[in-house]
Structure 1
Amino acid sequence: MEKLHRRDFLAQLSLATVAVSVPKHAFSFHSKADAFVEVETTYGRIKGMQNEGVNLFKGIPYGGRISGDRRFRRPAPLEPWTGVRDALQFGAPAIQPPRRNEPAPSEDCLFLNVWTPANDNKKRPVMFYSHGGGFVGGSGAAGGQDGSNLARNFDVVVVETNHRLGLLGFLYLDELGGADYAGSGNMGMLDIAAGLKWVYDNIAQFGGDPNNVMIWGESGGGAKTSCLYAMPEAAPYFNKASIESGPGVRMTTKEIAAETTAMLLKELNIAPKDWRKLLDIPAADLLAMQAKLPFVPPFIEKNKNLGMMRRNYGGFGPVVDGVVLPHHPFDPTAPAISRNKPLLVGWNEDEYAFFAWERKDTEFAKLDFDSLSKKLEPQYGEDTAKIVDTYRKANPDATAPQIFMAISSITMMGLGSVDIAEKKVKQGGAPVYLYNFGYKSEKKIPGTDYPMGTPHAMDISFKFNNEIPPRDGSAPKESFFGGNRPERFTASRHFAELWTTFARTGKPAAKDVPKWPAYNLKTRPTMRIDTTCEVIDDRFSHELAVWRAVGKL
């Protein structure tokens, strides 16, 4: 097994989340309709379906053509239609490998889906979700994130978009293409902002409140949410946010993005002055080329070695271009543009278990404390002994594999989450709430006796309230990650209720859950979400202290 360093984990995250975004229980885009529902939008009338008390509208176009001469540019204007357009099947996802139970990917992919309890002009909170999959995969119809149960059980409206990804969404051409290609390095983010504007203009017809919109997302969707939180173009259209296991503190700089563009042109044997030849290359060929280049993780480490950053992070993701994304989302400070917008941020306790599963890493489960230090030394060098010693003292009963899991998980998603929370507090504006998701799955990582615990991406089905007994009274099926224990239904209810209450009021709360205090720099309260939830003050204090001491936080 090759040694897995933090940057290796993160570089794989974009692909890894794609792998889990279509598990066996993914819902089909051929849903059974109890009845049909028609509604007027700003572009024309559409027909959706009613199913078990939820109205679902699939594949609604929110932008025009982005292929041909519109590649790497703002979409063509969306043409209104006459008559009634069917919104009964999910729209094509962005160009990527084919996705199970979904339409074939397409370059023209600007579609969104809406789940609502009723089209009755009631002003419900709107939960606008950005899917995971890093910046290269996923869709608004991915398994586990069906919005039906949130809409039905918590009286909210759920919206999910497809948007440009990878090379087609984030190729930086500003310096080559001129005014027509301004913002090219952030087209995928501008698509999402356009989806938010569509919500503002139309969601009242779907029973939602355009002035009470929460943006949220997991993994790559958390990084996208971090960017939206700092984007002037998105700012008028949302009121609060949640960043889940994807703390986008920093994004790609213009300099690195320009080098990636130069690398691509060189690989394609295209001179910079002839860059327009990119417009004629089939999208499938660009996808194949994209796979040969590095991937951008959901967040980029603070690293003064620019050369190393170029080697590690020269891929396709949002670009700090000074205009669309004026600065890094949370570096050096929380974005002033969202100062008064409440924020949730946090991570899963056993994030690395997902990557062990995805990478078939069984070796970590065999570690003893001697081999643990040897495994960590290439990444942490002379600080390894200090880090391991701190973790052993803070967790005296932990085994070497458990210490490795704890270190790997907090460095992947925890340190950035804490960084965001601290910077939001220092801003002195709206509150920020820090969480850890901790429900433990009993399922084993294949090839080991090590339990999955709370791996990366397991939160998706829990927070969407999709860990729930079947409505027809049949026996529950095993959850893809969450296992078989019925306690998971309670944890899912807590998670979903906390998030929907936050969407409604700006303060997370739920029945049978302690009051969740806003984060502060004195007591540092963290909500641990589980079958029984608890507020823990100054959690991981010793561990975070050592990460500060070695310059990782």
Structure 2
Amino acid sequence: MTTPPETDAVRGTLEVGVTGGMVRGVERRGLRHWRGIPFAAPPVGALRFRAPRPVVPWSGMREAAQFGPVSMQSRNGNFIGVSRTTPMSEDCLTINVIRAASGASALPVMVFVHGGAYSVGSSAEHPRNGETLVREGDVVYVSFNYRLGALGYLDFTRFSTPERPLESNLGLRDQVQALEWVRDNIAAFGGDPSNVTLFGESAGGNAVTTLMATPAAHGLFARAIAQSPPPNAIYLPEMTSVWAGEYIEILTEAIDTDGVESTSDDIAGQVLADADAGELVEAAVTLTLRTPDAHPGTIVLSPVIDGDFLPERPLDAFKEGRAAAVPLIIGTNDREGSLFTGRLDILATTPKRIRAIFASTKKKARKAIKAEYPGLPEKRPAADFGGDYAFWYPTVKVAERHARYQPVHFYRFDIAPRLVRLAGFDATHGLELFAVFDRMNGWFGRTMTALGGRRAFLAAGKRMRAHWLAFARDGSVDEAAWPRYDERRRLTLVIDQADRVEADPRGSRRRAWQAFVPHV
């Protein structure tokens, strides 16, 4: 979306020295903002499909009043992209900071990783994100861009050569680079680099659980919050190599390659280097639309277990205690899958996709899981099946495994305004962002509550932010209101009109999934 003009900006002595040079922010509504600060070299030219490099220094004062260009993405793909007026560029690796205008120092830091299926979104998508957290909790809020789509989340290493090296997990590497920037620079903004809480939603939640299993990220954050992650959307090179081949075929069919065979691995690196960034984006959209039926149950734009930067499945790292030794808040929404309809539907929700997933399980396990979704594969139970397969059940596995080693608090977000329920979405994927970021005063937030439920939703959001902020401040959680999660009691905070704690909610469904997907 386009950032609205902010005419009440006050330019003062908001000059800060960071890696690369000096930046000057602005003060707005009692908060200090710095936007569009480079945290890595532009990943363009010879650095396309390469790990991020150090910031290129600049001379003089760099104005940091506006967001930087967003990562390259489709404006009309299967997911909602940015508006037609939002600047996009491969040169997108920038970071933003918000803090209160007070002179306090050593403040807690909250670093947010935006979602968008690793194909769309940006740190500027909702320009006022983080402001309420800063006002209510006196924290330093950080957001950043990272490479998306084919430029960040397809694994082209099968086409790498000594002359034209291609590296893996580029978006993930960008995230680590951003966290290193926070470690090295946040004290200059009044933040405490030893007190960083990493949080994210959807793909950003996947980023959190993946970063917890990424050795290079260990020590860069003190605690983590994963909202609605698909933690198992991480794939072996055998799968990502297939997708890379399919992508090259799509790309070479769409552009002029001077008659070179599209199946030739020898020219793939050259094609990737020469293609226009927009062509790379559109080929990724085509691949994303094909994959749910070609490879049911998978999400094509995802990290790869490359054995190096990401050495193992995050779920295995959590199981063996090799994940980052930090406390974790994690959870999902009541009906994650109800949002994924039409072109958004990348989940295992159609009869064909469900059959493909059932084909690899035993009859007894299939029968047990079907009993948990009466009417499957009708639309509503299919949406719940697909959402649970991608989000809820693997999130439960992360929680129970990490709880063996570190404090874990598990939640389920149930509250939804009446209009959202009447539309059939209920507490769907992404709805909790309106609570965490206090977005209900925007036109969409007000529309959602046109038929009632506004007061209750606002109150739930305030309670949720209080939990998040207390956790970010010092790792504390009100154990009386929200006990720790463990494999025995599985105590879960259900966020609703009145919050409650339930022991092993949907326990019978959890046990059915345990038998259905024993490899998770």
State the TM-score, normalized to the length of structure 2: 0.84
- Verify the 8 A CA contact 1:218 1:245 in the aligned structure 2: yes
Residue 30 (structure 2) aligns with: 53
Distance in 2 of aligned mates of 1:95 and 1:337: 34
Q: Is 1:288–2:282 an aligned residue pair?
A: yes
Distance in 2 of aligned mates of 1:508 and 1:35: 38
- Verify the 8 A CA contact 1:441 1:452 in the aligned structure 2: no
Q: Any gaps of 5 or more consecutive residues in structure 2?
A: 76-81, 253-260
The amino acid of 2:9's aligned partner reads A
Distance in 2 of aligned mates of 1:341 and 1:462: 25
Tell me by how many angstroms 1:389 deviates: 3.9
Structure-2 change in CA distance of 1:253 and 1:179 (3 Å)? farther
The amino acid of 1:352's aligned partner reads G
Tell me by how many angstroms 1:210 deviates: 0.4
Selected match of 1:441 from 384, 399, 417:
417
Structure-2 change in CA distance of 1:182 and 1:221 (3 Å)? farther
Tell me by how many angstroms 1:263 deviates: 2.5
Tell me by how many angstroms 1:442 deviates: 0.8
Distance in 2 of aligned mates of 1:461 and 1:420: 25
Residue 320 (structure 1) aligns with: 305
Structure-2 change in CA distance of 1:70 and 1:296 (3 Å)? farther
- Verify the 8 A CA contact 1:151 1:157 in the aligned structure 2: yes
Aligned ranges for residues 291-310 of structure 1 at < 5 Å?
291-294=285-288
CA offsets per residue over residues 312-359 of structure 1, 9 Å max, x none? 648332111011101111136446443521111110002233224876
Residue 459 (structure 1) aligns with: 432
Find the residue that maps to 1:500 and give its secondary structure.
Answer: helix
Structure-2 change in CA distance of 1:295 and 1:451 (3 Å)? closer
Tell me by how many angstroms 1:229 deviates: 0.8
Structure-2 change in CA distance of 1:342 and 1:481 (3 Å)? farther
CA offsets per residue over residues 250-303 of structure 1, 9 Å max, x none? 512112222222233334145322233121211111112222213699xx9xxx
Selected match of 1:162 from 116, 140, 145:
145
The amino acid of 1:433's aligned partner reads H
Find the residue that maps to 1:237 and give its secondary structure.
Answer: coil
Distance in 1 of aligned mates of 2:297 and 2:491: 34
CA offsets per residue over residues 385-434 of structure 1, 9 Å max, x none? 54454567xxxxxxx98766654543342101111111112xx3211111
Find the residue that maps to 1:92 and give its secondary structure.
Answer: coil
CA offsets per residue over residues 140-165 of structure 1, 9 Å max, x none? 11228611111111111111111111
Tell me by how many angstroms 1:123 deviates: 1.2
Q: Is 1:487–2:472 an aligned residue pair?
A: no
- Verify the 8 A CA contact 2:160 2:166 in the aligned structure 1: no
Selected match of 1:63 from 33, 40, 43:
40
Q: Is 1:498–2:496 an aligned residue pair?
A: no
Aligned ranges for residues 23-102 of structure 1 at < 5 Å?
28=4, 30=6, 32-36=8-12, 37-98=14-75, 99-100=82-83
- Verify the 8 A CA contact 2:8 2:29 in the aligned structure 1: no
Aligned ranges for residues 474-553 of structure 1 at < 5 Å?
478-479=445-446, 481=448, 484=452, 485-509=454-478, 514-551=480-517
State the TM-score, normalized to the length of structure 1: 0.80
CA offsets per residue over residues 201-224 of structure 1, 9 Å max, x none? 111111111001111111111111
Aligned ranges for residues 77-226 of structure 1 at < 5 Å?
77-98=54-75, 99-100=82-83, 103-118=86-101, 120=103, 122-143=105-126, 146-178=129-161, 184-226=167-209
Distance in 2 of aligned mates of 1:385 and 1:184: 43
Residue 323 (structure 2) aligns with: 338
Distance in 2 of aligned mates of 1:145 and 1:235: 29
The amino acid of 1:52's aligned partner reads R
CA offsets per residue over residues 151-205 of structure 1, 9 Å max, x none? 1111111111111111111332334324687772211111111110110111111
Residue 368 (structure 1) aligns with: none
- Verify the 8 A CA contact 2:52 2:170 in the aligned structure 1: no
Distance in 2 of aligned mates of 1:384 and 1:312: 16
Distance in 2 of aligned mates of 1:72 and 1:499: 35
Q: Any gaps of 5 or more consecutive residues in structure 1?
A: 1-21, 301-307, 365-371, 393-399, 471-475
Residue 274 (structure 1) aligns with: 267
Distance in 1 of aligned mates of 2:398 and 2:90: 34
CA offsets per residue over residues 223-250 of structure 1, 9 Å max, x none? 1111111112211211111111113135
Find the residue that maps to 1:233 and give its secondary structure.
Answer: helix
Distance in 2 of aligned mates of 1:59 and 1:358: 32
Find the residue that maps to 1:211 and give its secondary structure.
Answer: strand
Between 193-202 and 253-262, the greater mean CA deviation after superposition: 253-262
Find the residue that maps to 1:126 and give its secondary structure.
Answer: strand
The amino acid of 1:524's aligned partner reads R
CA offsets per residue over residues 126-148 of structure 1, 9 Å max, x none? 11111111111110112286111
- Verify the 8 A CA contact 2:52 2:177 in the aligned structure 1: no
Q: Percent same amino acid among aligned pairs?
A: 28
Distance in 1 of aligned mates of 2:157 and 2:354: 40
Find the residue that maps to 2:493 and give its secondary structure.
Answer: strand
Distance in 2 of aligned mates of 1:218 and 1:296: 24
CA offsets per residue over residues 462-506 of structure 1, 9 Å max, x none? 112334x69xxxxx9843656652221111101111111111122
Tell me by how many angstroms 1:450 deviates: 4.5
